[in-house]
C-alpha cells in the first residue's frame, strides 16, 4: 500500500532537548527541505507548532509535532521509532486562523493572522477604554479593562483560558470574546460569538490610553481600531496520534486532566 507521506522535513526549536531529538531523527530518516516535504515534523513545544503553522500558512502542508518543550498541548509524544507508521495512522485536525486588521494612530492599516487569538492590551498604567461592535452593531459602548481578546477554538485553552474565558470544542462554530481584567462593565465576563461574525474594537481616548494589538506573536502598537474575523480561505492541518486528537485534548482539558 502506498504511503501518504514519503518526504519528511524536520524543524526544531533552539532548546537543547529539541536539537538533540532533531539530530537523532535526521540520522535515522531521510529528509528534505520544508518546501519539498509532504509533511513537516516539528520538535519542540506549542510555540514551535504555532511558528511552523505560521511559516507554512497557505501551503496546506500537515504538521506533526513531537513534544520537546514545556506544555506540548498541540504535540504528540516524542519517540524515535516507527515514525512513518505513526504518520500514516495519524488523525487530521483542520483549523482556520483569525484575520486581524489593525489601524494605528497614523491611519496605517496592518494585517496579520492568528491561530490562537487576537488580543488588545493596554500599553501603560492607564486602563484601555474600548468600544465593541459585532457585525456593525455596538454591543459595549465603553469597556474599561486591561484589554480584550478574540480566541479560536484551537486557542481557547491558551491565553483565553488563563484570563477566565471558556474552552471551546475544536469543531464548534464559535469564537470566544473575553475581557482581560475588566473594571467596567463590572459583571461582564465575555461572550460566545458565531465564527462568521465580524468583530470591531475601537480604542477610545487613544492618546491618553494607548493600546497594542497582537495576533499570536505579531504586535502593532498605538492602534485605534481593530477588525477580527475568521479566515476560512486558509486551512491549517495538524496530525495527532489516534486517541490523542486535538478534539480529545480539548475535551480532557474541560474535565481537568
Catalytically active residues are 46
9 is in an annotated binding site: no
Task: Please state the φ and ψ torsions of residue 79, each to the nearest 5 degrees.
Answer: -150, 145
Q: Is 46 one of the annotated binding-site residues?
A: yes
**Annotated binding-site residue? 208:** no
116 is known to lie in a ligand binding site:
yes
Residue 59: count of CB within 10 angstroms of its CB: 15
Name the residue with cell 532548546.
15
172 annotated ligand-binding residue: no
Q: Is 135 annotated as a binding residue?
A: no
**Residue 30, annotated ligand binder?**
no
Q: Which one, of 41, 15, 37, lies nearest residue 28 by Cα?
A: 41
Which has the closest alpha carbon to 68: 19, 29, 33?
19
Answer yes or no: are the C-beta atoms of 118 and 100 closer than 8 Å. yes
CA contacts within 13 A on the Cβ side of 128: 30
What residues are designated binding site for NAD(+)?
A: 46-47, 116-117, 146, 154, 157-162
What residues are designated binding site?
A: 46-47, 116-117, 146, 154, 157-162
Amino acid at each position: 500500500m502506498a504511503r501518504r507521506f514519503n518526504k519528511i522535513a524536520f524543524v526544531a526549536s533552539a532548546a537543547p532537548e529539541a536539537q538533540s531529538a532533531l539530530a537523532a531523527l535526521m540520522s535515522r530518516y531521510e529528509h528534505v527541505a520544508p518546501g519539498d516535504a509532504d509533511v513537516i515534523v516539528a520538535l519542540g513545544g506549542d510555540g514551535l507548532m504555532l511558528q511552523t503553522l505560521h511559516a507554512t500558512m497557505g501551503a496546506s502542508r500537515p504538521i506533526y509535532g513531537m513534544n520537546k518543550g514545556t506544555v506540548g498541548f498541540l504535540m504528540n509524544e516524542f519517540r524515535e521509532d516507527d515514525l512513518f507508521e505513526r504518520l500514516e495512522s495519524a488523525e487530521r485536525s483542520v483549523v482556520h486562523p483569525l484575520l486581524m486588521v489593525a489601524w494605528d494612530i497614523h491611519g496605517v492599516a496592518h494585517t496579520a493572522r492568528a491561530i490562537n487569538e487576537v488580543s488588545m492590551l493596554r500599553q501603560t498604567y492607564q486602563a484601555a477604554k474600548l468600544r465593541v461592535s459585532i457585525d456593525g452593531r455596538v454591543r459595549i459602548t465603553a469597556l474599561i479593562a486591561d484589554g480584550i481578546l478574540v480566541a479560536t477554538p484551537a486557542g481557547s485553552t491558551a491565553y483565553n483560558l488563563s484570563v477566565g474565558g471558556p474552552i471551546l470544542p475544536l469543531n464548534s462554530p464559535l469564537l470566544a470574546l473575553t475581557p482581560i481584567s475588566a473594571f467596567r462593565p463590572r459583571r461582564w465576563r465575555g461572550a460566545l460569538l458565531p465564527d462568521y461574525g465580524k468583530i470591531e474594537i475601537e480604542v477610545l481616548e487613544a492618546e491618553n490610553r494607548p493600546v497594542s494589538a497582537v495576533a499570536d506573536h505579531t504586535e502593532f502598537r498605538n492602534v485605534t481600531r481593530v477588525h477580527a474575523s475568521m479566515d476560512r480561505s486558509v486551512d491549517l492541518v495538524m496530525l495527532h496520534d489516534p486517541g490523542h486528537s486535538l478534539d480529545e485534548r480539548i475535551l480532557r482539558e474541560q474535565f481537568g486532566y
